[in-house]
Amino acid sequence: MNQKKSLKELNLLDKFLFDEAMDDPENVKIMLDIILSQKTKLKHPPQTEKEQRTSTDNRQIRLDVYAIDEDDVIYEVEAQKENTHNLPKRSRLYQGIIDSKLLPPGVVDFNLLNEVLIVLIMPFDLFGYGLYRYTFHMRCEEVPELKLNDGATRIFLNTRGKHPELVSPELIELLKYMERSTDEVSRECKSKRIQEMHRRVCQIKASEKAEVKYMQTWEEKILIKQAGIAEGEQIGRLKEKTELVKKLSNKFSIEQIAEMLEIDISEVEKIIKEIAK
């Protein structure tokens, strides 16, 4: 696990601060307005860490920010610090799970599906073309100008783009600020909206309640990691025992194997049954 940063050292690309800041509808509105060059009117307060799954047996996802505007357009925004090398397909999974929840059972008019915009904000260039922004819609390969118009949009934002002429100066300022959410970067921003966002972020960083929550979140991550290590060690020991029992079972009795490995006879019997399957 990376070394812990203090709450005041966090940036908006850090998951905890991003989630806390985006609990504030005004911050979500500012972010969407700048990214999409629009005036967003949210229908409901945004949800952070929203859990989505198609059934209890299927994989769940947690959405960083989930919001709906007055036109019923759905926005899902993720801050992604690490390149996990699966983000395009991950965005596809998010799209599919969100879509699967939009129509009530029995409704067959698919034109009632909401428009969905998925936005991932990253401090690296996922596609290698030096752009600040990559926007994807479904198009026809044979007729490139023909759009599918299925209402699905995926946007990948790169805080370290190299072509400022292709996006608005305010978007560049927002991306720089998200990567380094400091007083210095805020002062360099000409955007009044980003300065207002910074004022709200500073309130979070100065909040005792947020500090306690951050410490609890960090401690929970450590406990989860320790539990994972312990489980991995246990699996490793089990594999080692299985290999030893397999080698010894041709020469020694169950009782002798149990005595040599200092384990119960019932455990040896269980391992031998598993080997025989």
pLDDT at 238 > cutoff 80: no
Binned at pLDDT 50, 70 and 90, residue 51 comes out as low
Region 43-54: mean pLDDT is 77
Residue 270 is predicted with a pLDDT of: 84
- The pLDDT tens digits of the residues spanning 239-270 come to 777 777 777 777 767 777 776 676 778 888 88
Residue 257 is predicted with a pLDDT of: 74
Least confident of 47-51, 90-94, 267-271: 47-51
- The pLDDT tens digits of the residues spanning 196-213 come to 999 999 999 999 999 999
3-state SS assignment for residue 23: coil
How many beta carbons lie within 10 A of that of residue 60, not counting itself?
11
Residue 148 is predicted with a pLDDT of: 96
Beta strands in 41-151 (DSSP E): 47-52, 61-68, 74-79, 116-122, 133-136
Residue 189 is predicted with a pLDDT of: 96
